[in-house]
Amino acid sequence: MPSQDLEHVHSEADSLLHRGQERAQRFFHGFVDFAFQGNILEIAFGLIVAAAFTELVKSFVGNILMPPIAVIFPLNKNIEEKFAVLRRGDKVNTTTQYSTVQQALDDGAVVMAYGSFIYQLVSFTMVGLCLYGVAHIYTLVSHDPIIKYTTKCRYCRKRINEKVCMAPLQQ
């Protein structure tokens, strides 16, 4: 009798192991199918290109656009380094001024870094304008428009596709 119980335990362990292997293989094959679908690869490619494009535009803004702005406006340093000290830190006496935002932060001062915000705002605007330009060029070249122009519906006042509004009413 004990040998039958032992065989039952071994067969049960083998079946659990076999089921676990099947689940692991099914999970792996499902992941491979998911990861190498056309849509996922297109999204991954688009994200990589978008990240590179964003870095390019940020470099344009920081290295080409912002220095002339700093010269045009009477700024003695780059716009990114402009800040206001709201409360001084513990280590600096009242006669010493902070030279950089990092120096003020290291001292424990409360700082409003408005120059960094202005830089980020200009950078965001430029990325948006560049992406709009690329989408506009793609729309001119392709039959599949990215930019879909809308207008307000004269009946419901919601924004709808411009082509729908121009279509004649069907009775």
Q: Is residue 31 part of a domain?
A: no
Q: Residue 29: inside a domain, yes or no? A: no
Residue 12 lies in a domain: no
- Residue 31's pLDDT band (cuts 50, 70, 90): confident
- Say if 58 falls within a structural domain: no
Query: In which domain, by residue range, is 151 found?
Result: 78-170
Q: What pTM, to 2 d.p., does this model score?
A: 0.56
What's the pLDDT tens digit per position in 93-107?
666 688 888 888 888
Q: Give tens-digit pLDDT for 39-83.
A: 777 788 888 988 998 888 888 888 888 788 777 777 666 778 888
How many distinct structural domains can be found in the chain? 1
Residue 141 lies inside a defined structural domain of this protein: yes
CA–CA gap between residue 100 and residue 82 (Å, rounded): 8
3-state helix, strand, coil in the chain (%, to 5): 65, 10, 25
* 38 occurs within a structural domain: no
